[in-house]
Amino acid sequence: MSSISCEVEHLRIKTYGIWLHMVEQGAGPLVLLLHGFPEFWYSWRHQIAFLAKHGYHVVAPDLRGCGDSDAPLSPTSYSVVHLVGDLISILDHFSEQQAFIVGHDWGAVAGWFLCLLRPDRVKGFVSLSVPYFQRDPNTKLIESYRQVFGDGFYICQFQEPGRAERAFARYDYLTVMKKFLLITKTDILIAPLGMEIIDYLETSSLLPPWITEEELQVYADKFQESGFTGPLNYYRAMDLCLCNAVHLSEILNDRNWELLAAWQGTKVKVPAKFIAGDKDIGFESTREYVTGDIFKQLVPNLEVVILDGHHFIQQERAQEVSEEILCFLRKVSLDSVSSQV
Question: Strand, coil or helix: what is 138?
Answer: coil
Length of the chain in terms of residues written: 341
Integer Cα distance of 22 and 87 in angstroms:
12
Query: For residue 77, what are the domain limits?
Result: 3-340
pLDDT in tens for each of the 341 residues of the chain?
A: 444 445 899 999 999 889 999 999 999 999 999 999 999 999 999 999 999 999 999 999 999 999 999 999 998 899 888 999 999 999 999 999 999 999 999 999 999 999 999 999 999 999 999 999 876 666 665 676 777 788 899 988 998 899 999 999 999 999 999 999 999 888 889 999 999 999 999 998 899 999 999 999 999 999 999 999 999 999 888 653 333 333 333 333 444 455 677 777 789 999 999 999 999 988 988 899 999 999 999 999 999 999 999 999 999 999 999 999 999 999 999 987 777 75
Query: Does the annotation mark 235 as catalytic?
Result: yes
Q: Of 133, 143, 147, 165, which Cα lies nearest the Cα of 232?
A: 165
Half-sphere exposure of 303 (CA within 13 A, CB side): 14
Which entry of 105, 154, 173, 310 is annotated as an active-site residue?
105
User: CA 105, 111, 113 angle in degrees (round to 5)?
Assistant: 110
CATH number at residue 105: 3.40.50.1820
Q: What is the CA 217 to chain-centroid distance, rounded?
A: 21
H or E segment and range at residue 21:
strand 19-25
Q: Of 201, 199, 206, which Cα lies nearest the Cα of 189?
A: 201
Number of domains in the chain: 1
Query: Does the annotation mark 78 as catalytic?
Result: no
- Other Cβ atoms less than 10 A from the Cβ of 21: the count is 19
Which entry of 235, 239, 247, 280 is annotated as an active-site residue?
235
Integer Cα distance of 22 and 90 in angstroms:
10
Number of H helices, E strands in the chain: 16, 8
Query: Does the annotation mark 280 as catalytic?
Result: no
Integer Cα distance of 105 and 63 in angstroms:
12
Which entry of 21, 35, 247, 311 is annotated as an active-site residue?
311
195, burial (CB in 10 Å: exposed 0-12, middle 13-18, buried 19+):
middle
> Helices (DSSP H) in 193-249: which residue ranges?
197-200, 213-226, 229-236
pTM: 0.92
